[in-house]
Amino acid sequence: MNPADLPRSILVVGSGGREHALVQAFAASPARPRVLCAPGNAGIAADADCFPVKADDVAGLVELALREKAEFVVVGPEAPLSLGLADRLAGAGIPVYGPSAKGARLEASKTFTKRLLIKHGIPTADAAFFGETAAALDYLRSRRTPIVVKADGLAAGKGVVVAKTLKEAEAAVKGMIEGGKFGTGGRQILIEDCLEGEETSILVVVSGWEYVILPTSQDHKRIGDGDKGPNTGGMGAYSPAEVVTPALMEAIERTIVRPSVAAIASEGIDFCGTLFIGIMLTAQGPKVLEFNTRFGDPETQAVLPRLATDPLDLLWAAAKGALGGYRIKVRPGYAICVVLSAMGYPEYYPTGDAIEIPLVLPADVAVLHAGTARDAAGRLVTAGGRVLGVTAVAGSLAEAAARAYRTCESIHFASKYYRRDIGARQLRRV
Ligand code: AMP
Ligand code: GLY
């Protein structure tokens, strides 16, 4: 698209590393738009005009977009989408990238998505649905372990238990159905077969029946090196994920992406936004683990630097229903994002630690902010579990990792913690 046809002001909703990556990408667009963010964080404030409206304050965000004359809104996190932010913005005549509340159910309800996948013959783990304990426990006893128990509804990544033993699975079922452990996420549950293989994240820009697949990436969900310890929002990512060979990508597109986009459109869901497909590469072929209806964090931080296409142009084309025939250009080379978290995350962690970042960063390295803020004295301090993301691009993954890790060492805050093995699995393969 001609840069003159792109929006002149964009509001990004959210406050994490993903949103910082989007803000920087939009700020670098040849269209030179004004970039706004709500609520943003201390680092985003250097690249966008930030407004203290929370990401789940739907009415406040619509009001902000109107007042600031935002010509385009790009929504980062899932919560406002589930609350109908995209519907409300569309109602106010503001183009938005991010699905309607109906579309967001693909992330918000695991039972809804599982039924859709089964109905349309899209490969996924076999599953059964339960709303009461006795039947669920009976079913469990008829299955083999390991087995996976999932609570319906958004549970901030905590609604999935991969149970190694029957005892563990029984406890998960009781906790979810009776314990109200997962808030409104509980009650309805799914019990599904455990899939084995490597996971990959496929981000797809969707507009109705049209779609564009973004470069592959792989997240590192566990807190500890060697994929040990509890699940987190994501501790690092790299792109491309070479485990997805061209032949596998072809199979993923043919058996999963194309039928999923068609299934969603044919169910009457007018989906404009990112369909993030979590895939397990099993010996029987790729299978869907989950859908998210937004960009991944930290996958986005590793994928966007590889696009030679202007991301604003791509997302605007999606919002305008102009994705048919759209081709993206991808830069050769590799990108990595290493997340610096506060020690204790994903459980209890301190905040308010002073952060020092070198003023001059090496070429091809960027520091994206997630949980950062300014204290009363104006100092940069930690304010969340995931604090910063260090991204680097290079001709090889080894070089990208080396660059990112050198910068991780040169950043200081008292509670700094990070995984030392982002990308290691792929590096071991070469
Ligand atoms: P979900 O929120 O559905 O992606 O689940 C979170 C994580 O649980 C996934 O990223 C997988 O690591 C794991 N998981 C979910 N479903 C399964 C399954 N059927 N088999 C094995 N692991 C799974
Ligand atoms: N990195 C996984 C997610 O964004 O859900």
Residue 380 lies inside a defined structural domain of this protein: yes
pLDDT in tens, 197-207: 999 989 999 99
105 in any annotated domain: no
Residue 301 is assigned to a structural domain of this protein: yes
Residue 108 lies in a domain: no
Supply the CATH number for residue 228's domain. 3.30.470.20
The answer to whether residue 345 scores a pLDDT higher than 90 is yes
Q: What is the mean pLDDT of residues 46-69?
A: 98
Separation in Å, CA 99 to CA 57, 124, 383: 17, 23, 29
Q: Are 33 and 7 in contact (CB under 8 A)?
A: yes
DSSP letter (8 states) at residue 407 = H
Say yes or no: 290 and 201 in one domain.
yes
Question: How far, in Å, is the centroid of ligand 1 from the Cα of 401?
Answer: 27
Give yes or no: residues 344 and 272 share one domain: no
31 phi-psi bin (left φ>0, alpha ψ -120 to 50, beta other): alpha
Annotate 136-199 with three-state secondary structure. Answer: HHHHHHCCCCCEEEEECCCCCCCCEEEECCHHHHHHHHHHHHCCCCCHHHCCCEEEEECCCCEE
Q: Which helix (H) or strand (E) holds 404?
A: helix 397-410
Q: How many domains does the chain have?
A: 4
Mean pLDDT of the chain: 95
CA atoms of 337 and 297, how far apart (whole Å)? 10
Peptide bond into 346 cis (omega under 30): yes
- Asked if residue 11 belongs to a domain, the reply is yes
For the full predicted model, state whether its pTM sits above 0.85: yes
Please give the Cα distance from 55 to 81 (Å, whole number).
Answer: 10
Q: Torsion over CA of 392, 395, 401 and 403, rounded to 10 degrees?
A: -60
Tell me if residue 34 falls in helix, strand or coil. Answer: strand
We report the CATH number of the domain holding residue 406 as 3.90.600.10
Contact 201, 213 (CB under 8 A): no
Q: How far is ligand 2, taken at its centre, from the CA of residue 42, in Å?
A: 22
Question: 77: CA distance to ligand 2 center in Å?
Answer: 10
Domain edge (last residue) among 142, 173, 193? 193
Based on the fold, state whether residues 424 and 343 are members of the same structural domain: yes
Last-in-domain residue among 145, 174, 193: 193
182 and 200 fall within a common domain: no
Task: Give the residue numbers spanning the domain of 423.
Answer: 334-429
- Each residue's pLDDT tens digit, 363-408: 999 999 999 999 999 999 999 999 999 999 999 999 999 999 999 9
Least confident of 19-23, 106-110, 202-206, 250-254: 106-110
Residue 3: is the preceding peptide bond cis (ω within 30°)?
no
Whether 328 is covered by a domain: the verdict is no
Query: The CATH number of the domain where 140 resides is what?
Result: 3.30.1490.20
Question: Which of 319, 345, 380 represents a domain boundary (last residue)?
Answer: 319
CB of 128 shorter than 6 A to ligand 1: no
User: What confidence score (pLDDT) does residue 177 get?
Assistant: 86
Among residues 9, 41, 32, 31, the alpha carbon closest in space to that of 297 is found at 41
Count other Cβ atoms within 10 Å, centred on residue 118: 12
Find out whether 288 and 141 touch, Cβ atoms under 8 Å.
Answer: no
215/275 same-domain check? yes
Residue 419 lies in a domain: yes
| pLDDT confidence tier of residue 1, bands split at 50, 70 and 90 | confident
- DSSP class of residue 384 equals S
Within this chain, do residues 205 and 303 fall inside the same structural domain, yes or no?
A: yes
Helix (H) or strand (E) holding 365: strand 365-369
Ligand nearest to the CA of 370: 2
* CB of 100 closer than 8 Å to CB of 84: yes
Of the chain, the percentage scoring pLDDT greater than 70 comes to 97
Residue 166 domain-assigned?
yes
Mean pLDDT on 178-190: 67
Closest Cα to atom 5 of ligand 2: 296
Residues 300, 208, single domain; the answer is yes
What is the rounded CA–CA span in Å between residue 134 and residue 84?
35
Q: Do 234 and 307 belong to one domain?
A: yes
Q: Is the CB of residue 49 less than 8 Å from the CB of residue 34?
A: yes
pLDDT number for residue 154: 66
Same domain? 77 vs 92: yes
- Residue 184 tokens, joined: 């409104």
Residues 179 and 238 in one domain: no
179 pLDDT band, cuts 50/70/90, is confident
Alpha carbon of 129 to ligand 2 centroid (Å): 25
Is 181 a residue whose pLDDT tops 60?
no
> The domain that contains 24 carries what CATH number?
3.40.50.20
Only one residue has tokens 């029987």, namely 284
Q: Which atom belonging to ligand 1 lies closest to the Cα atom of 150? A: 3
Instruction: Examine the domain organization and report whether 226 and 202 are in the same domain.
Output: yes
Residues 297 and 217 in one domain: yes
- Model confidence pLDDT, tens digit, residues 148-158: 999 987 665 56
